[in-house]
Structure 1
Amino acid sequence: MQTTKLNADSILPLTCTRSGTCCFGKAVMLNPWEIVCFSVAKKITPREFRDLYCDFGGIQLIFNGKENKKGQKSCSQYIPDFGCSVHEGRPLACRLYPLGRQIQFDKAEYIYEGTDFPCLTDCADVLNLPKMSVGKYLKGQKAELFENAQDAYLQVMQNIADIGFELFLDSGLAASGDTKTLQTWRILGQETPELLALRIGKEWMDALMIPEINEDNPIAFAQKHNDLLLLKAQEQFGNISTLEELHNASVLMIALALHLAKGLGADTKGISEHWIATAKSFGSKE
């Protein structure tokens, strides 16, 4: 689908009618810090919020509420005739809507899908409200901290993948002539989040999505989380030596990185293909 790129000065009909139509039929992806923010607003633990209101180990918000006229179910946090029950804890996807955010060459760009502005489909009355710049809208939505979290977790994703690369390239596994590891990486990039979560398993899924960290700053939170994940990997894989063990460990790390990528809204198929091409550039085979 065609996308329209924006900058901070772009003027759009972003003054919200607060009709709640955007709270139906969406796929809202989450990172670990956003689960914490939700849980604080809900006054429950991150584990409780994840288990009650998220799918696939925590990377997607459940939409199982009242249906609208189109048959679309509302977000699990939406209350009819009231709105979002945890508005202060809402994630970046909700703060940006109807805009999206993509990162290319280390630069973030704001976009919306299609050539027609999305809000005009269900909320045409926004045309009667004042327009505002993208920058002013994002400031009002207090999006900056959540953008920082998103960017920090993109780095965590890459750091997890780097462990998968080390277990494959630096251990002798790739040099042994192994071909099934890269083949499995390709499968991972195309798997549904449900299958990927099952492959990862509960222990590592909990470590990935609900770390026990007390930190209000999202960048510091992500860094502490990164360190916990690296320590867990070192403890679990530091003494393995057989090719089968190395294969399984490498696949697990790449699965974790791709599952986190799904929660960040990234193109997991494209990422896995890029990682495979990188491994092949070092002489690996598939």
Structure 2
Amino acid sequence: MQTNKLNLQDILPLTCSRTGNCCFGKIIYLNPWELLNLANEKKNTAREFRDQYCEFGGIRLKFDGKAGWKDQQACSQYVDNFGCSVHLGRPLACRLYPLGRQVQSEEVHYMYQGDEFPCLEPCCEVVELPQFSVGEYLKGQMTEKFETAQDAYLGLMQNIADIAFELLLDTGLSESGDKATLPLWRKMGDELPEVLADSIGHEWLDCLMIPEISDDDPMAFVIKHNDLLQLKVQEKFGALQTNQELHEASVLIMGVALHLARGLGANPKDLAELWIDTAKSYGAQE
């Protein structure tokens, strides 16, 4: 499918009409700060919202509502004849729609896919509404904080992966001739999200997706979350002694990084291959 890149000055043929057809049949991934925002808007705890409305430990919103547009099921937060019940707390993917966002070499790109601009079929009335530039549309959707959170979590994801590297490369595990760790990194990159969530386990999923942090500032939230995860790593893995323990810890932590990656819209399989190649360049084997 053709990908069309846009700059901030490009004019979009729409102003969102709030018809709600885009609330059916989508896949909406979440980072932990977004999950907390949704919970606050719903007046739930993060755990309550996660357990009732999310899948795979909290990284994806359920779409299990009444069927609508093209007989697709609605988002769990969609209310008939009203719209999104958590509109003010909606995640970045919803704010950006129908645009996608990609970060390459610290440069942000916005885009859409297909020969025709999305929304024109389900919401044809948008062509008669005022037209905004990409920059104006993003400002109107108040994406800034949510983009900050997304980018900060990409950094946190790499920090988690770095712990898996350290457990493999800086402890003597790799030098011992270990060939079991990297194949399991690869396997996790290719696993279904429900399988990976199950292998990570509730304790680490809770620490990853519903940390006991409450901060409206996304950067402060992510910094505190990073500190919390680092403390948990020290608590759980600070006294490991055997190569088997180090191997299991490296695999577990890499699973956490890959699971978060999926929630950030990254491809876990591609990331696993990238991280395996990096580990091999430092002497790891498989």
Q: Give how far 1:113 is off.
A: 1.4
Deviates more, 1:180-189 or 1:11-20: 11-20
Question: 1:249 aligns to what SS in structure 2?
Answer: helix
Question: 1:153 aligns to what SS in structure 2?
Answer: helix
Q: 1:109 to 1:67 in 2, by over 3 A?
A: same
Task: Quote the Cα distance in structure 2 between the aligned partners of 1:5 and 1:196.
Answer: 33
Match of 2:236 in 1: 236
Instruction: Provide, for residues 228-280 of structure 1, a one-character-per-residue CA deviation record: whole Å limited to 9, x for no partner.
Output: 00110011001111111111100011100010011100111111111000001
Task: Quote the Cα distance in structure 1 between the aligned partners of 2:162 and 2:69.
Answer: 47
TM-score in terms of structure 2 length:
0.98
> For structure 2, which runs of at least 5 residues remain unmatched after alignment?
none
2:65–2:75: 8 Å Cα contact kept in structure 1?
yes
Q: Give how far 1:2 is off.
A: 2.4
Question: 2:94 aligns to what SS in structure 1?
Answer: helix
1:15–1:130: 8 Å Cα contact kept in structure 2?
yes
Match of 1:181 in 2: 181
Instruction: Provide, for residues 98-120 of structure 1, a one-character-per-residue CA deviation record: whole Å limited to 9, x for no partner.
Output: 00101111111111112321111
Q: Give how far 1:69 is off.
A: 4.8
2:21–2:69: 8 Å Cα contact kept in structure 1?
no
Task: Quote the Cα distance in structure 1 between the aligned partners of 2:69 and 2:20.
Answer: 13
Question: 1:135 aligns to what SS in structure 2?
Answer: helix
Question: 1:183 aligns to what SS in structure 2?
Answer: helix
Match of 1:61 in 2: 61
Match of 2:215 in 1: 215
Match of 2:279 in 1: 279
TM-score in terms of structure 1 length:
0.98
**Which structure 1 residue ranges, 4+ long, deviate > 3 Å from structure 2?**
none
Q: CA RMSD in A?
A: 0.9
Task: Quote the Cα distance in structure 2 between the aligned partners of 1:137 and 1:4.
Answer: 17
Task: Quote the Cα distance in structure 1 between the aligned partners of 2:50 and 2:19.
Answer: 27
Task: Quote the Cα distance in structure 2 between the aligned partners of 1:232 and 1:95.
Answer: 33
Question: 2:70 aligns to what SS in structure 1?
Answer: coil
1:26–1:63: 8 Å Cα contact kept in structure 2?
yes
Task: Quote the Cα distance in structure 1 between the aligned partners of 2:121 and 2:184.
Answer: 41
Task: Quote the Cα distance in structure 1 between the aligned partners of 2:196 and 2:69.
Answer: 33
Deviates more, 1:69-78 or 1:133-142: 69-78
2:15–2:129: 8 Å Cα contact kept in structure 1?
yes
Match of 1:76 in 2: 76
* One-letter identity of the residue aligned with 2:213: I
Counterparts of residues 37-186 of structure 1 (less than 5 Å): 37-186=37-186
Indicate yes or no: 2:204 matched with 1:204.
Answer: yes
Task: Quote the Cα distance in structure 2 between the aligned partners of 1:235 and 1:18.
Answer: 47
> For structure 1, which runs of at least 5 residues remain unmatched after alignment?
none
Task: Quote the Cα distance in structure 2 between the aligned partners of 1:13 and 1:69.
Answer: 21
| Identity in percent | 62
Counterparts of residues 248-259 of structure 1 (less than 5 Å): 248-259=248-259
Task: Quote the Cα distance in structure 1 between the aligned partners of 2:14 and 2:223.
Answer: 33
Task: Quote the Cα distance in structure 1 between the aligned partners of 2:220 and 2:73.
Answer: 35
Q: How many residues align?
A: 286
